[in-house]
Structure 1
Amino acid sequence: MVKPDPPTAEQLAAWDRELVWHAFTQMAEHEPLLIERAEGCTLYDVDGRALLDGVSSLWCNVHGHRHPHIDAAIRAQLDKVAHVTLLGMAHPTTVQLARKLVDIAPAGLQHVFFSDSGASAVEVALKMAFQYWQQCADSNLTGPQPKKTKYLAFDNAYHGDTLGSVSVGGVARFHEMFRPLLFEVLRIPTPRLFRLAAGVTRETAARYFLECVELLLQERHEEIAAIVIEPLMQCAAGMILHPPGFLRGVRELATKYNVLLIADEVAVGMGRTGKMFACENEGVEPDLLCLAKGLTGGYLPLAATLATDRIWQAFLGSYESSRTFFHGHTYGGNPLGAAAAVATLEVFENEQTLANLQPKIARLTEHLQRIAQLPHVGDIRQLGFIAGIELVRSRTTNEAFPWSERRGQQVCNHALTRGVWLRPLGNVVVILPPLSVTLAELDQICLAVEEGIRQIN
């Protein structure tokens, strides 16, 4: 049998335009960018062009592409078994991953439920919180609290694209179309820091937004199951940075009014803020913690929802009691994904990733301070190794560019000519490289962005 010739780059591009339906992409305008291989922080397209991965392959790559330790772990697992269900079975690699996660997570998070995406991890947390109140036997309560069925979430939040996670999300451009399908959510204004007025301190801003939270909790806490928050920064909303102390205050209010706290660390977890978990920056211990993206180093789909023992206990009972958590994913806790995740955590320890990240955060800050002076930069928001540069028509008036002008994309298109791949959020240019990026590579990314912004008319 004659082996057919492999498709040409032109054929692949044509098939990509005609057959593959890309996420968040207007396919009528789609221009294929076919990545054939990668090494470290560099992607190589089918024509051999090298592109620095400036946004970690959508915020998930941690230690670079083709890291030898992670590669070896996946190959070793593949030689044993590729997949074993967690419905009635278990396997050593996934059990070891659960042990490692509990050991490093914020105190109190002692149980791990595996799924396969960030949206799924949030969906799991929402359902756990709901079911908890329906059947809890908390010593501080008289019994189940069936009225607690609502969630308190933030404007411009993003928690994924399943219907439950979209319900607690709040980015109108993504979510408005699906409003008739969603459940009701109580909303809080986005707690943001953006060009504070004269005399307004960060502490004042935090207090103002916390007062908004408390007013709602005072009135509705008996029907609120949980507060859902992206700790410290709402990433998909345009890298909106919360005032310092706000997260800590929300934790205290949740405790005061007997409401669960769900921390969605899908984007901000796994070292992105300079600490392993964003909650650590303010000493916060959530009731439920959602992880995905960087959990496997950006290799394979795997997500985890960590829960406290208080929540776990509410689901225990006899088979006949039907207190089981009736939720599951076929590939949840998949051995290959678990192997990648265990290896990812080992690399954090072996290579002292977080300690070595600090000089890179400082270098990123230096670049951003210079970029902040450009005439079309309205605001820069940085949290550890996450940065968003908001473009405006005028710094003086802070007039925004119409989103339809795609100014952020124009900057990213220019960066591509300088060997850097980026993906914006509207008029916000995102810089979020792998934690393993070198200082020289970071310089190249930031200089490409700066040059692109300077070309805006």
Structure 2
Amino acid sequence: MNWAERSRQAVWHPCTQMKVHEHFPPRAIVAADGPWLIDDQGHRILDAVSSWWVNLFGHNFAPIKAAITDQLGKVDHIMLAGLTHPPVVELSERLAALTGLGHAFYASDGASATEIALKMSAHSWRNRGRAEKNQFIGLQGGYHGETAGALSVTDIPLFREAYAPLVRLSATLPSPDPRHAAPGVSAPTHTRHAIEALANYLAAHHAQTAALILEPLVQGAAGMAMYAPEYLVAVRDLCDQYEVHWIADEIAVGFGRTGTLFAHQQARRADGEHVKPDFICLSKGLTGGVLPLSAVLTTDAVYQAFYDDRTVHGFLHSHSYTGNPLACRAALAVLDTFAEQDAQGRDVLSRNREAAERFHALTAPLRAHPRVKGHRHLGMIWAWDIDCQEPTFAARYHRAALDAGLLLRPIGTTLYVMPPYVLTEADQTHLAHGLVRVLDRVLADIDALPQAQAPVVPVP
């Protein structure tokens, strides 16, 4: 029995209708190098989505491997309740210096970070004698994870409907994504309307609202929806005015994905100073995609709301692997990599800008494709909306791309690329040409289908 079949028999794969694997078995990856995955048949597959947006510097990145190996010879894991260790202290100090927020609280994944931030916000208001502030706001199309608390602020109907009896749904307000603008309404006007909707909601409900959570600049699961940084400036002002916390979910967009180290840093006031949230949730790229780790950073004011002699006023949350030393060393290696310069004096972000310009030029044929009805680009994220009504488009494209040596997972009819930062020009050319080649093949197959008989094949 091969690896794929053994996996089908033993593994429950995430966010997957397992019956699909009867006909489309999972690819068994046995090795990886840089941006390339190698399956058990020796095929090379370009990881164009960074293995669900986590991998920054390619697989088997030597500095991260060296840091983990060194730490493994010292301390592999200890509980963080009543104990501490150098890597978690160092990482917390460096994240505080980079963000202006501190008191890092650790878990292992993005959904846990969301849960922590929501609980911490509501509990801090309770500790300050304002227990009625326990409601939350999310945005249309927002995604913050799939645990019960995270689902309460996630606007993905498939997830929310399946688990609705378990979830206390939060308010969902209009997204500044200009694709939602009414006919004839410009993007700036739509942004202003979204700001007005938030202002009106807070004016009526601020007394019960603990926090607003959003993904700064890019809503990933909404099809890489991108919006203007001016919205974040207004969010900061309105949250200050109405005493509501702002939680910035930088899980997917942090660590250079949008062109700055953190996405919210692109939201600047007239004097050039960027706005700062009350909470930042980090994960995915935090360890370069090597080990599970997430962190929640917050303000001194929130931290002080818990600082008390009474246990009941402490933050009542824990994870067995909180602040794992190996994961923290991987994260420190990531921060070291961002701080380093190459022989030409360029750091990661400046090299990314050059790579983004090159790839943007290479994808001109895709932007000009007759079936591409919209495109977006920010930093190291690209997205193209495809004019296709066939519900099986995403699944068909994903499978055809694998056959062409590309790992791509469209979101609905939005094709996107979020690659590791280490693609060579040859890698980029291979990806840009493959995007168009696979699109033409898939659309031709779909156009040849009798529309009334098109099979519905779920996305794996």
With normalisation by structure 2, the TM-score equals 0.90
- 1:119 is matched with 111
Alignment: residue pair count: 429
Q: Distance in 2 between the 1:13 and 1:52 partners? A: 19
Cα displacement (A) at 1:381:
2.3
Q: Distance in 1 between the 2:262 and 2:425 partners? A: 23
Residues 263 and 195 (structure 1), Cα distance of their counterparts in 2 relative to 1, 3 Å cut:
closer
One-letter code aligned to 1:35? I
One-letter code aligned to 2:131? P
Residues 57 and 265 (structure 1), Cα distance of their counterparts in 2 relative to 1, 3 Å cut:
same
- 2:224 is matched with 239
Q: Distance in 2 between the 1:258 and 1:54 partners? A: 41
Measured against aligned partners, the alpha-carbon deviations of 1:83-136 in whole angstroms (never above 9, x if no partner) come to 01111111111111111111111x3x1221011100001100000000010012
The answer as to whether partners of 1:302 and 1:337 remain within 8 angstroms in 2 is yes
Measured against aligned partners, the alpha-carbon deviations of 1:292-345 in whole angstroms (never above 9, x if no partner) come to 000000000000000110100100011x35211000111111011001000011
One-letter code aligned to 1:315? F
The answer as to whether partners of 2:229 and 2:266 remain within 8 angstroms in 1 is no
The answer as to whether partners of 2:178 and 2:191 remain within 8 angstroms in 1 is no
Q: 2:418 aligns with which of 425, 428, 432?
A: 432
Residues 156 and 363 (structure 1), Cα distance of their counterparts in 2 relative to 1, 3 Å cut:
same
- 1:48 is matched with 42
- 1:150 is matched with 135
Cα displacement (A) at 1:184:
3.1
Q: Distance in 2 between the 1:279 and 1:336 partners? A: 28
- 1:140 is matched with none
Does 2:169 correspond to 1:191?
A: no
SS in 2 for 1:146: coil
One-letter code aligned to 1:383? L
Deviates more, 1:210-219 or 1:378-387: 378-387
- 1:92 is matched with 86
Cα displacement (A) at 1:145:
1.3
Q: Distance in 1 between the 2:387 and 2:433 partners? A: 19
Q: Distance in 2 between the 1:88 and 1:363 partners? A: 50
Measured against aligned partners, the alpha-carbon deviations of 1:30-63 in whole angstroms (never above 9, x if no partner) come to 2120110111111111111111110001100001
Q: Distance in 2 between the 1:194 and 1:261 partners? A: 24
- 2:457 is matched with none
- 2:315 is matched with 325
Cα displacement (A) at 1:350:
1.6
- 1:267 is matched with 252
Correspondence list, 1:196-345, <5 A: 200-282=185-267, 283-318=274-309, 320=310, 322-345=312-335
Is there any run of 5+ residues in structure 1 with no aligned partner, and where?
Answer: 1-9, 137-143, 394-400
- 1:441 is matched with 427
Q: Distance in 2 between the 1:271 and 1:197 partners? A: 32
Q: 1:358 aligns with which of 350, 353, 356?
A: 353
RMSD over equivalenced CA pairs, Å: 1.6
Residues 179 and 215 (structure 1), Cα distance of their counterparts in 2 relative to 1, 3 Å cut:
same
Q: Distance in 2 between the 1:198 and 1:238 partners? A: 20
One-letter code aligned to 1:48? G
One-letter code aligned to 1:386? I
- 2:344 is matched with none
Measured against aligned partners, the alpha-carbon deviations of 1:59-78 in whole angstroms (never above 9, x if no partner) come to 00001111111100000001
Correspondence list, 1:364-379, <5 A: 364-379=359-374
Measured against aligned partners, the alpha-carbon deviations of 1:180-223 in whole angstroms (never above 9, x if no partner) come to 11013111022212286776433212111100111101110111
Deviates more, 1:273-282 or 1:429-438: 429-438
Q: Distance in 2 between the 1:148 and 1:235 partners? A: 28
- 1:25 is matched with 16
Measured against aligned partners, the alpha-carbon deviations of 1:370-426 in whole angstroms (never above 9, x if no partner) come to 312212212212221112222223xxxxxxx142xx213323333223321112212
The answer as to whether partners of 1:274 and 1:384 remain within 8 angstroms in 2 is yes
SS in 1 for 2:387: strand
Correspondence list, 1:142-181, <5 A: 144-181=129-166
The answer as to whether partners of 1:297 and 1:344 remain within 8 angstroms in 2 is yes
- 1:380 is matched with 375
One-letter code aligned to 2:231? F
Q: Distance in 2 between the 1:73 and 1:267 partners? A: 23
Deviates more, 1:406-415 or 1:60-69: 406-415
Q: Distance in 2 between the 1:280 and 1:73 partners? A: 28
The answer as to whether partners of 1:412 and 1:429 remain within 8 angstroms in 2 is no
Q: 2:32 aligns with which of 25, 35, 38?
A: 38
With normalisation by structure 1, the TM-score equals 0.91
SS in 2 for 1:152: strand
Residues 323 and 195 (structure 1), Cα distance of their counterparts in 2 relative to 1, 3 Å cut:
closer
SS in 1 for 2:412: coil
Q: Distance in 2 between the 1:354 and 1:335 partners? A: 27
